[in-house]
Structure 1
Amino acid sequence: MSAHPAWRTTFHLRFRDFDYLGHMTATSYLAFFEEARVAWLTEGTGARQPAYVVARQEIDFEREVLPGDGPLTLTIEPIGRGARRVDVREELRGADGTLRARSTATLVMWDREARRPRAVSDAESRLFGG
């Protein structure tokens, strides 16, 4: 759907990302996807603080992430959109390129003052391939 190639960023693993089993916690996957989305929207639209809410997210955990598997590469690609939302496909890969997790998410653009969904802006529309 997007007129742009998948966007990429890299994150280094942190001590707090791991649980007592020695692999990355489920909450850290969510945190990395969220941090990547904020960076993607900030870079792509110029907004200092992108305003959106996650309406839906589905994650498939393909392979565990261990402390030596970083840095992680995350990619984001818009795959659908509406007047107030964008659907994205996301991947998280280890330093060796192995897919560790994939996600699909629906991001609803948010009006901070009115506390409700808002229309996709022109800058967001360009980023989403519209």
Structure 2
Amino acid sequence: MRHIYRCPLRWADMDAYGHVNNVVFLRYLEEARIDFLFRPEKDFKQGSVVARHEIDYKRQLVHRHHPVDIELWVTEIRAASFTLTYEVKDGDVVYVRASTVIVPFDFETQRPRRITADEREFLREYTDAEEEAVAA
């Protein structure tokens, strides 16, 4: 299953050519990630931090007044980290493919922590079965 976030575009997001600035895409990914991880029914209450981003720009996104879709899913779950993969897109048109490695973090002790059983169960719901088979 994939999580879909409808990301609004803002005037300040565009560069001098009217395209969404490449740096802004990192904020879009953050918005999608927060929308995914911090929902009332399931969330990472104990906290998490980003360990790594990888982003592949496919085509320019021209600023407009309607949102762009960000599809997000889990591609890897380890003992103390997991990887989210994203596509920023309109239908079949992909503007960006990206991934983020997330580390669960205990802010009280200021240390990384292991993924809890509840968190692992939640993440597995969003694991793409095809990609999981390739990773194995």
**What TM-score does the superposition give when structure 1 sets the normalisation length?**
0.85
Does structure 2 conserve the Cα–Cα contact (< 8 Å) formed by 1:24 and 1:66? yes
Is residue 117 from structure 1 mapped to residue 118 from structure 2 by the alignment? no
Residue correspondences, number: 125
Matched, 1:108 2:103: yes
Are 1:23 and 2:26 counterparts? Answer: no
Unaligned runs of 5+ in 1: none
What amino acid maps onto 1:10 in structure 2?
R
Where does 1:1-130 land on structure 2 (aligned, <5 Å)?
A: 5-43=1-39, 46-47=42-43, 51-68=47-64, 70-94=66-90, 96-129=91-124
After TM superposition, the score normalised by the length of structure 2 is 0.82
Structure 2 spans left out of the alignment, 5+ residues:
126-136
The answer to whether the 8 A contact 2:37-2:44 is kept is no
Inter-partner Cα distance in structure 1 for 2:77 and 2:105: 15
